Amino acid sequence: MGDDRVFRPLWATVAAWLVGALAVGGSLLVGLGSDAPGSSSSANRWSFVVFAALAALLLWRMGGVHARPSADGLVVRNILRTRRLAWPEIVAVRLTVDDPWVVLDLADGTTWPVMAVQRADGERGMREATRLARLVRSRGEAAEQL
């Protein structure tokens, strides 16, 4: 029923993986490979390993941002939270000039960000916002779009 391709940001994903590789690789290289005075303490080495693990976790979440449409609704995975929305819950899809990503207006009066569709992706981001609006219009009860 329609276009159920997963929504994913382009440049945010690329940036997350590149920065992740540099942060984790650099931390491990410096933390485990350094021969500088004082660097041989296990606490110092472990601090670099812990930093690398936390950086990897954060950047993995950033790189995994997506919105997955299905017949039942939309599952939105942002950096910190994932939320399942039924199509009728979504009343509008907005991407204004001040918004970095799509914002959904919900039937309960709240909003929910969709970081998977970003203005930073330029024309591709606008096409994806339009595609999401079409999905909401065809599957939900949305009155206003973009």
- pLDDT by residue (tens digit) across 122-134? 999 999 999 999 9
- pLDDT by residue (tens digit) across 62-83? 888 999 999 999 999 999 999 9
- The answer to whether residues 133 and 71 belong to one domain is yes
- The answer to whether residues 99 and 110 belong to one domain is yes
Domain count, the chain: 2
- Name residue 53's amino acid: A
Judge whether 102 lies within some domain: yes
pLDDT in tens, the chain (146 residues): 467 899 999 877 788 888 888 888 887 787 777 666 665 677 777 887 888 888 888 888 888 899 999 999 999 999 999 999 999 999 999 999 899 999 999 999 999 999 999 998 999 999 999 999 999 999 976 444 45
**Token pair of 74, please?**
């939309």
Domain extent, residue 109, equals 66-139
- The answer to whether residues 31 and 88 belong to one domain is no
- pTM equals 0.77
Judge whether 5 lies within some domain: no
CB contact at 8 A, 92 and 102: no
- The answer to whether residues 130 and 74 belong to one domain is yes
111's CB contacts (< 8 A; 6+ apart) are 103, 104, 105
